[in-house]
Amino acid sequence: MTKISDEIAVLRLSKISKHYEGLRVVDEVDLLIEKGRTYALIGPSGCGKSTLLRMIMGLIPSDAGVVYYNGRRLAELDVRTVRAGFGYVIQSGGLFPHLTARQNVVLPAAYRQWSSQKVSQRLGELRELTQLPKDCLDRYPAQLSGGQRQRVSLMRALVLDPEVLLMDEPLGALDPMIRSQLQVQLRQIFHSLNKTVLMVTHDLSEAAYFADQLILMRGGRVVQQGSLDSFVREPASPFVTAFIDAQKSHLGPAEKSQ
């Protein structure tokens, strides 16, 4: 049965739960992810945001609830189609150390037996997009800087031109200088791509800088969803205010650029 909301939603989560040894890590979460918008999942560590992202990605099964992808149950869809629809970037990059940057990026395409012409064309587009220096392509992950690694990882996530980009603390492992540089660049990329993006971060200013919609989680539940403005003006609970206050001392690029 298709709901009206499915027409605008790329992803719809209905009562998604996950338990670990009796602990409710994710507790009956309902969520609507609309086409073309950028979302940030935020919250203190252990609030279940990464687990939720992994369940959407299908990397771990949920204990209860349903994920709808374009109106259809995710679990019933062909795995290959689903995988091609989602790009995924993790904090450590997840680049395979035995492959060069180039081999890493083209792996999903080569696996799907793209022609070499198509592969190299796509590689060129992505390098331009991420502005990765050309000589980096033939290096191994161990020979790349942290920032370069994350850009290669992003290229790999985008190589199949997925509909949705899921990112788990993509900048979390970087030092502050590189991090703020990459934030600016990443925002430009998001804007030029016009993709649906769902990003996990613990940093409120980063979340506000990238996303039009913030989703604040606590103890496995969604506390509030909306813009940073709405969080400040109409906090759903004292926790929202406390969370914002705790992060205020941070002066991220969000404040700087405005």
Partner 1 sequence: MNRFWLFLLVLTGLAAAPTPSRETGIKIGSKKFTENVIVGEMVAGAIRSAGVRTTHYQELGGTRLVFNALVQGDIDAYPEYTGTMIEETFADREIETDAELIAALAEKGVLMTQPLGFNNKYAIGMQKARAQELAITKISDLGRYPELKLGFSNEFIDRDDGWKSLQQHYSFEFEKVQGLDHDIAYRQLASGDLDAIDVYATDAKIKSMDLAVLEDDREFFPRYDAVILYRSDLGKRYPAAASVIHQLAGKISDRKMIEMNLAVEGVERETEIRVARLFLNESLGLDIPIEPRESLFQSVLSRTIEHLDLVRRSLVPAILLGIPFGIIAFSNRISGQLVLGVVGIFQTIPALALLVLVMPLVTAVGARSIGVGSLSAVIALFLYSLLPIVRNTYAGFQGIENQYRESALALGLSRRYTLFNIEMPLAMRSILAGIKTAAVMNVGFAALGGLIGAGGYGQPIMTGIRLDSLSLILQGAVPAALMAVVVQLLFELVDRWVVPRGLRLKPVN
Interface with partner 1 (CB under 8 A), residue from 141, 170, 252, 253: 141
Could you identify the residue written with the tokens 């370069």?
Answer: 148
Q: Does 140 bind partner 1 (CB under 8 A)?
A: yes
Encode 176-193: b = buried (16+ Cβ within 10 Å), e = exposed: eeebbebbebbbebbeee
Q: How many Cβ atoms are within 10 Å of 47's Cβ, its own excluded?
A: 23
Q: Does 145 bind partner 1 (CB under 8 A)?
A: yes
Residue 256 CB, nearest distance to partner 1 (Å)?
26
Distance of alpha carbon 53 from alpha carbon 51, whole angstroms? 5
Crossing angle between the packed helical segments 176-193 and 146-158, to the nearest 10 degrees: 20
Per-residue mark of binding to partner 1, 65-104 (x: CB under 8 A): --------------xx-xxx-x-x-x-xxxxxxxxx----
Residue 98 CB, nearest distance to partner 1 (Å)?
4
Task: Name the token pair of 122.
Answer: 């796509």
Q: Does 111 bind partner 1 (CB under 8 A)?
A: yes
Interface with partner 1 (CB under 8 A), residue from 57, 155, 197, 228: 57
Residue 59 CB, nearest distance to partner 1 (Å)?
6
Nearer to partner 1, 145 or 227 (CB): 145
Residue 233 CB, nearest distance to partner 1 (Å)?
37
Distance of alpha carbon 78 from alpha carbon 236, whole angstroms? 39
Bridge partners of residue 225, in order along the sequence: 215
Residue 70 CB, nearest distance to partner 1 (Å)?
17
Residue 57 CB, nearest distance to partner 1 (Å)?
6
Amino acid at 47: C
Q: Does 146 bind partner 1 (CB under 8 A)?
A: yes
Residue 242, H or E segment: helix 238-247
Q: Given the rule CB under 8 A, which of 36-44, 123-131, 141-149, 244-252 is the region that contacts partner 1?
A: 141-149
Residue 255 CB, nearest distance to partner 1 (Å)?
29
Nearer to partner 1, 20 or 96 (CB): 96
Q: Does 182 bind partner 1 (CB under 8 A)?
A: no
Give which of 64, 50, 76, 71 is closest to 16, Cα–Cα. Answer: 64
Nearer to partner 1, 114 or 239 (CB): 114
Handedness of CA 141, 142, 143, 147 (dihedral sign): positive
Phi, psi values for residue 22, rounded to 5°:
80, -10
Task: Name the token pair of 53.
Answer: 């992202």
* Interface positions with partner 1 (CB under 8 A): 57, 59, 79-80, 82-84, 86, 88, 90, 92-100, 107-108, 111, 140-146, 156
